[in-house]
Amino acid sequence: MGAAYGQADRGISPERVRVWRSTRRCPGGSRCGYPQRVRRALITGITGQDGQYLAEFLHAKNYEVFGLIKGQNNPRIDLITAELPFVELVSADLQDLSSLVAALEQVQPDEVYNLGAISFVALSFKQAELTANVTGLGVLRLLEAIRMVGGSSGNPIRFYQASSSEMFGKVRETPQTEQTPFYPRSPYGCAKVFGHDITVNYRDSYDLFACSGILFNHESPRRGIEFVTRKVTNAVARIKLGLQETLVLGDLEPRRDWGFAGDYVHAMWLMLQQDKPADYVVATGQTHSVRDFVDAAFRHAGLDDWERFVTQDPRFFRPAEVDLLVGDASKAHTELGWKPQVDFESLVSMMVDHDLRIEAKKAGIEVP
Ligand code: NAP
């Protein structure tokens, strides 16, 4: 392993594991005299948008945070070690069951958050088999690994699956709830339906504490540049700075329920703190079109006549589109006490401001 890897990759000492096991069995909680064990979380998808926010959130709650990293020379290791130095990286891949078993044996986590996926819908049309393997079968492999490492009775590992509103696809009702039937419209959506169903099945069959969060779109300055929201805010920043002339987009009419990723990782954690495992829709309940997003982003940058900068290209249209996603998060409000904090306009402004800063810095320009 390279020098960038943390302590976890070099192995946890048997003594540390022994302390963990003895405190786990401690019946008297904080009054029994045993040291209270620091909780451990293992996050797959640590290099992604949500993995980074979740790692910061759990670190602030005094967890030991472990991040699963795939590949022998993953280019995003440097980003994680620079931005999240407290995360210990563990080498494994959602396509490789034995590597997942080894990672769980090494970390002995209390909570596992499965955020790893091929998550870009457009790519899933081009690499459908890979998407099914990572985004779908990867969930099954991780659940199997949890069963193998955590044992068959009283398994102590709590599991979170990152399900998606894309499972609703050609929506059967509006707004969508935990009871709305699925009708996925992409290989990504199909793979997520499998991941969701197998999570529920393992909970029912093996009494695992396994939850599925059906999260609607959530964005942030950490969103990958391939996603339409970040593509827009980055282009707006560059146009404002005179570094780019046009923004080429696909369909402007699809409507999404957009929230802030930092709010949504809080809901993930809350799900694993309940007495009983369950599934929850996490959404703002507000819907906006891509056109609304583009309009808000240009307006925030002081460019009101945005139509002259934007062109459309059919190459960016999806083969099968999801028209109207809007979630009803009443169950999460009532049972988890969760509410989103950042509204649509603030989210767009946050992303544009961030892109203005980084693009100006790269170009050596002062932010206007
Ligand atoms: P993201 O930024 O695209 O991150 C995806 C992560 O998956 C990356 O860290 C990637 O690692 C990892 N990954 C890919 N292939 C893997 C493999 N074979 N083994 C292990 N890890 C692998 O996604 P995100 O926006 O943070 O979303 C997190 C999760 O929530 C995903 O499952 C996504 O599908 C789901 N979700 C997201 C949204 C949303 O709006 N953001 C909504 C609903 C559900 P590398 O960097 O090494 O490739």
**53 touches 65 (CB < 8 A):** no
> What are the structure tokens assigned to 99, written together?
């590597």
What's the CA-to-centroid distance between 356 and ligand 1, angstroms? 25
Specify the pTM.
0.91
Nearest CA owner, ligand 1 atom 33: 119
DSSP codes joined into one string, 318-363 = -SS---B--B--HHIIIII-----S-HHHHHHHHHHHHHHHHHHHH
Q: Whose CA is nearest to atom 31 of ligand 1?
A: 115
Distance 204 CA to ligand 1 centre (A): 26
Ligand 1: atom nearest CA of 69 is 47
Q: Which residue, by CA, sits nearest to atom 15 of ligand 1?
A: 117
Rounded to the nearest angstrom, the distance between the alpha carbon of 37 and the centre of ligand 1 is 29
> Does domain 35-220+260-282 correspond to CATH entry 3.40.50.720?
yes
Kindly give the number of the ligand 1 atom that is closest to the alpha carbon of 47.
Answer: 9
- For the chain, the structural domain boundaries read 35-220+260-282, 228-256+287-324+342-363
The contacts of residue 36 (CB under 8 Å, 6+ apart) are 23, 30
41: helix, strand or coil: strand
State which fold the 228-256+287-324+342-363 domain adopts: UDP-galactose 4-epimerase; domain 1 (3.90.25)
Would you give per-residue pLDDT tens digits along the chain (368 residues)? Answer: 333 333 333 333 444 443 444 344 333 344 444 456 799 999 999 999 999 999 999 999 999 999 999 998 999 999 999 999 999 999 999 999 999 999 999 999 999 999 999 999 999 999 999 999 999 999 999 999 999 999 888 999 999 999 999 999 999 999 999 999 999 999 999 999 999 999 999 999 999 999 999 999 999 999 999 999 999 999 999 999 999 999 999 999 999 999 999 999 999 999 999 999 999 999 999 999 999 999 999 999 999 899 999 999 888 887 777 778 999 999 999 999 999 999 999 999 999 999 999 999 999 988 76
Which atom of ligand 1 is nearest the CA belonging to 51? 26
3-state secondary structure (DSSP) of residue 280: strand
Tell how far the Cα of 46 is from the centroid of ligand 1, in angstroms.
Answer: 8
Q: Residues with catalytic annotation? A: 164, 166, 188
Q: Do domains 35-220+260-282 and 228-256+287-324+342-363 have the same CATH topology?
A: no
